Amino acid sequence: MDAMNQSELQGLRERVQRLRTEAEALAGQAAGFPALDRNARRLLACVSMMEMDLGLVFRPPLREPEA
């Protein structure tokens, strides 16, 4: 597989961010529907994995171990 160029990668990031927005809205409206609530939470977990894959998650800098 060829490496993606920066514009393709940015396009994927934007799509995943839109998925996050929609999944959060769905989860917020799913109260009272247990199956829908569970599946909305699963969807958010999947979106989180995609964000990690694309480097969209804030990663704090590694700290040096204290002596």
Under the phi-then-psi rule, with left for phi > 0, alpha for psi from -120 to 50, and beta for the rest, what region is 55? left
pLDDT of residue 55: 83
Residue 66 lies inside a defined structural domain of this protein: no
Residue 41 lies in a domain: yes
Please give the tally of structural domains in the chain. 1
Point out the residues of the chain with pLDDT beneath 70: 1-3, 57-67
Q: Is residue 43 a part of any domain in this protein? A: yes
pTM: 0.73
Q: Which long-range contacts (CB under 8 A, 24 or more apart) does 1-9 make?
A: 9/54
Residue 67 lies in a domain: no
Structural domain harbouring 30: 8-53
Q: Give me the pLDDT at residue 1, please.
A: 45
> Which pLDDT does position 54 carry in this prediction?
85
Whether residue 2 lies inside any domain: the answer is no
